[in-house]
Amino acid sequence: MPLSRLDGIKLPASADFHVHLRDGDMMQLVTPTIREGGVNTVFVMPNLVPPVTTVSRALEYKSQLEAIEPRVNYLMSLYLHESITPEVIIAAKKAGITGVKSYPAGVTTNSSSGVIDYAAFYPVFAEMERQDMILNLHGECPSSGDITVMSAEERFLPTLLSLHTQFPNLRIILEHLTTAAAISAVQKCGPKVAATITAHHLSIIVDNWAGDPFCFCKPVAKTVEDRDALLRAATSGDPKFFFGSDSAPHPSASKRGGDKIAAGIFTQKYATQLVLDAVEQACANGVLQEEKITVDVLEGFLGKFGRAFYGLEQETKEFVTLRKTGEKIEEILKSEKTDVVPFRKGQTTWSLSWA
């Protein structure tokens, strides 16, 4: 069986550099699942309603998360918005906030307050560069004219290159890559530019989300060639590419009912396990070579490279063990107040334990 030699593998705890933990009832439901996915460090996205645009709100949000699950290191972000000024950046850095997330207006969940014109934020980016804060980019152009969800990421790449040229020392992360074109663009940039890759984009393509709301997210999964390029980048040992699940929980009613389907795939509870599943599947399909999937490769993608890019002081001292025991992904997670359906519900995955 492919990757069976990895049965029982012990890895350092994963770090997930792109999570949506929401607020209120959904935050209560999903925050305790972070460690079940083998993760002890997360970069928390700020697209709440209203978005997190002040230092005090980010710190308050962090303490709410810590109260639910204190054994996780929460790295916090602000939502790029007209109220973010260079002064706010200086205060954010002092308060220990890690990054600023930019959402282009209208392209994804809760992005109505997003960016229309990047040039308007140049003074903010210049201050971020001075303060060595990270700019996290949702790299898509809004659909209009000949731009569609299939080309939205590729059409954004000139903006990435122009920001990198204008601010060569600004650390930039192109979030949740979905295309071979984006991989090449990130490779061409200097070491200040890196990218996250999700577990689901390592396994699905356009056909999976056409007709299945639980495979629908932004940016949408693209072609077989794109997915295979992502698999190769994630297992290449190139430190520019590391894990960010983009786990984005929505109540099942927003996925199954109503006129519009919410964009977002919930993977938090099985974050590490789903990455191993995708890699295993790719070995079985001959896309990846099993002998190249070493502990170093997995450890790099799942935490080491991201921790290094984020400048986290020390490597984690916690470990997880992964085994094949035939564990099935839950059909639905429920509290009294809300629920969420996990990606690949009902299917078999790895079992994870701490230590």
Between 12 and 306, whose beta carbon lies closer to ligand NCD? Answer: 306
Give the separation between CA 186 and CA 168, rounded to whole angstroms. Answer: 13
What secondary structure letter does DSSP report for 291?
Answer: G
- How many residues does this entry show for the chain? 355
Between 16 and 246, whose beta carbon lies closer to Zn ion? Answer: 246
Q: Does 246 bind Zn ion (CB under 5 A)?
A: yes
Q: Order across the sheet with 171-174: list the strands.
A: 77-79, 99-102, 134-137, 171-174, 193-197, 241-243
Q: Which of 11, 44, 217, 282 touches ligand NCD (CB under 6 A)?
A: 217
Give the shortest CB-22-to-Zn ion separation in angstroms. Answer: 12
Q: Does 218 bind ligand NCD (CB under 6 A)?
A: yes
Q: Does 140 bind Zn ion (CB under 5 A)?
A: no
Give the shortest CB-251-to-ligand NCD separation in angstroms. Answer: 11
Q: Does 42 bind ligand NCD (CB under 6 A)?
A: no
- Are 109 and 131 in contact by the 8 Å Cβ rule? The answer is no
Q: Does 108 bind ligand NCD (CB under 6 A)?
A: yes
Position closest to Zn ion via CB: 246
The interface region with Zn ion, picked from 26-34, 58-66, 244-252, 332-340 by CB under 5 A, is: 244-252
- Are 296 and 216 in contact by the 8 Å Cβ rule? The answer is no
Which letter, b or e, does each residue of 149-187 get, where b requires 16 or more Cβ atoms within 10 Å of its Cβ?
bbbbbbbbbebbeebbeebeebbbbbbbbbbbbbbebbe
The interface region with ligand NCD, picked from 7-15, 107-115, 229-237, 293-301 by CB under 6 A, is: 107-115
Q: Does 154 bind Zn ion (CB under 5 A)?
A: no
Q: Does 77 bind ligand NCD (CB under 6 A)?
A: no
State yes or no: cis peptide before 219, omega within 30 of 0: yes
What secondary structure letter does DSSP report for 247?
Answer: B
Between 26 and 92, whose beta carbon lies closer to ligand NCD? Answer: 26
Between 20 and 222, whose beta carbon lies closer to ligand NCD? Answer: 20
Contacted entry of Zn ion, ligand NCD, none for residue 264, CB cut-off 5 to 8 Å set by kind: ligand NCD
The secondary structure of 144-203 as a DSSP string is BTTB-TTTTTGGGHHHHHHHHHH-TTSEEEE-S---HHHHHHHHHS-TTEEEEE-SGGGT
Question: Where on the chain is the footprint of ligand NCD (CB under 6 A)?
Answer: 20, 47, 108-110, 138, 217-218, 246, 248, 263-264
Question: Where on the chain is the footprint of Zn ion (CB under 5 A)?
Answer: 246
